[in-house]
């Protein structure tokens, strides 16, 4: 980012504006076709009151943010799988990482189980996560299969869930499908004794699942927020895309992190329907409108690299803006291509295989009659990736990132030992 510029001078002189924080929960689905926005100085009074007041008084807040960013860039940070993120965070070390992974042991000679993964839609993240989960399940000697929703939308998600129920599995792992969308299906699963797990999601999207795993998105969004704060020297101008259909992919925690640790940042939050983010023409039009309204914009923060990053970046350039698109998630063609071209200056996220292992572990716990872990109890590592520290020549493949993640920290072996199977080939053979 620009160290000293006219924009920086304007930031210094900017007066605080009235804060208006957008409340988003599972019931916001009715508003998924709407598009409203609110802009606030991140240190202004808001619904989270005490946290932002504390940040204003904490002159060392930016130093803590810098340390988190440094740790995530040179290794990783270890934190809760879901929920608000508070500094300081501990760097991910071999000792602390291993101590945080406590898989449910799998007794040898037990019954073969059937697990169906309901994938949220035809996006790189959902497709790769579901593939990893099937491979892990099959390594256990169980049967694994995938049912993919044809779109990231309520109707197709319900159809996919009904198809999964029709297979009569022992368990269903849903990737990013809110409980409020599939309430009747979850009720049927409970009645039929099918254990249900939501990964990459929390009960912000609705209750009904037997277990929830945040997948590290809230931690990733907070690390991403920290990097934007540092790049903007504590005065970043950030636009956050709030997605009513997916309220739990860390955007809420990301915005709260900015409000807490960057009182002088300018923060704009707006509800954006999923189709706008996933369709190139709509994304380009939206990005153009955004920078025309906010010429000093520094960052456009998204919940996932599955969005149309290139379309937004091209629209910014065409409009004469040097605003940058940023997003959570390490894997996926868009993520690696974006780093390579500069459309994405940096990414933050956990390894998808780690969250896939957590999801299968939740199934093992549930089928053994053990209580589900709270989402925040499932700690996970999050990395901050730039072009400089990314895997060499990742191209459009998932495999290099999977192998890179395991090389940084071996999160696989604790699961292999607990379950009595060799899981090392999953990343090694990833395409």
Give the residue extent of every domain in the chain: 6-95+217-349, 102-215+351-382+400-428
Q: Are the CB atoms for 206 and 367 separated by under 8 Å?
A: no
**The whole model's pTM is what?**
0.84
Domain over 6-95+217-349 is classified CATH 3.50.50.60: no
* 167-207 pLDDT tens trace: 999 999 999 999 999 999 999 999 999 999 999 888 888 99
Identify the H or E element spanning 187. Answer: helix 183-191
Which residue has better confidence, 24 or 126?
126
The model's confidence at residue 60, banded by pLDDT at 50, 70 and 90, is: low
pLDDT value of position 250: 76
- In the 3-class helix/strand/coil scheme, how is 20-84 assigned residue by residue? CCCCCCHHHHHHCCCCCEEEEECCCCCCCCHHHHHHHHCCCHHHHHHHHHHHHHHCCEEECCCCC
pLDDT at 64 over 50: yes
With pLDDT > 90 as the criterion, what percentage of the chain qualifies? 63
Q: Identical fold at 6-95+217-349 and 102-215+351-382+400-428?
A: yes
CATH T-level topology, domain 102-215+351-382+400-428: Rossmann fold (3.40.50)
Q: What is residue 73's predicted lDDT score, i.e. its pLDDT?
A: 95
Q: What integer best gives the mean pLDDT of the chain?
A: 85
């Amino acid at each position: 980012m620009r160290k000293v510029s006219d924009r920086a001078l304007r930031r210094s002189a900017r007066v605080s504006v009235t804060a208006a924080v957008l409340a988003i929960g599972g019931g916001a689905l009715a508003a998924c076709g709407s598009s409203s926005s609110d802009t606030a100085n991140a240190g202004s009074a808001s619904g989270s009151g005490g946290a932002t007041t504390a940040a204003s008084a904490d002159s060392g807040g930016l130093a803590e943010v810098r340390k988190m960013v440094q740790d995530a860039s040179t290794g990783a940070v270890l934190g809760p799988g879901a929920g608000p993120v508070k500094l300081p965070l501990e760097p991910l070390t071999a000792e602390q990482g291993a101590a945080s992974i406590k898989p449910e042991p799998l007794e040898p000679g037990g019954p073969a189980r059937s697990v169906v993964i309901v994938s949220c839609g035809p996006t790189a993240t959902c497709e790769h996560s579901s593939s990893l989960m099937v491979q892990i399940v099959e390594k256990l000697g169980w049967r694994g299969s995938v049912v993919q929703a044809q779109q990231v939308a309520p109707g197709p998600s319900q159809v996919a869930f009904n198809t999964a129920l029709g297979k009569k599995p022992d368990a269903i792992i849903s990737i990013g499908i809110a409980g409020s969308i599939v309430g009747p299906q979850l009720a049927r699963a409970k009645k039929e004794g099918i254990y249900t797990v939501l990964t990459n999601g929390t009960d912000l999207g609705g209750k009904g699942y037997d277990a929830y795993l945040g997948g590290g998105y809230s931690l990733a969004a907070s690390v991403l927020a920290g990097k934007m704060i540092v790049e903007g020297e504590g005065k970043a101008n950030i636009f956050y895309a709030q997605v009513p259909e997916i309220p739990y992919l860390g955007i809420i925690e990301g915005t709260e992190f900015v409000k807490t640790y960057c009182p002088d940042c300018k923060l704009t939050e707006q509800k954006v329907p999923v189709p706008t983010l996933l369709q190139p023409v709509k994304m380009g039009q939206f990005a153009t409108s955004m920078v025309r309204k906010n010429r000093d914009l520094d960052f456009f923060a998204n919940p996932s690299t599955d969005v149309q990053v290139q379309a937004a970046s091209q629209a910014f350039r065409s409009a004469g803006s040097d605003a940058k698109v940023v997003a959570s998630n390490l894997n996926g063609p868009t993520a690696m291509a974006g780093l390579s071209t500069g459309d994405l200056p940096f990414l933050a996220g956990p390894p998808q295989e780690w969250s896939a292992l957590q999801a299968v572990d939740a199934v093992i716990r549930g089928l053994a009659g053990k209580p589900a872990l709270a989402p925040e109890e499932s700690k996970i590592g999050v990395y901050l990736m730039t072009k400089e520290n990314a895997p060499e020549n990742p191209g459009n493949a998932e495999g290099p990132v999977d192998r890179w993640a395991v090389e940084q920290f071996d999160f696989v072996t604790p699961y292999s030992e607990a379950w009595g199977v060799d899981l090392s080939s999953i990343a090694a053979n990833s395409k």
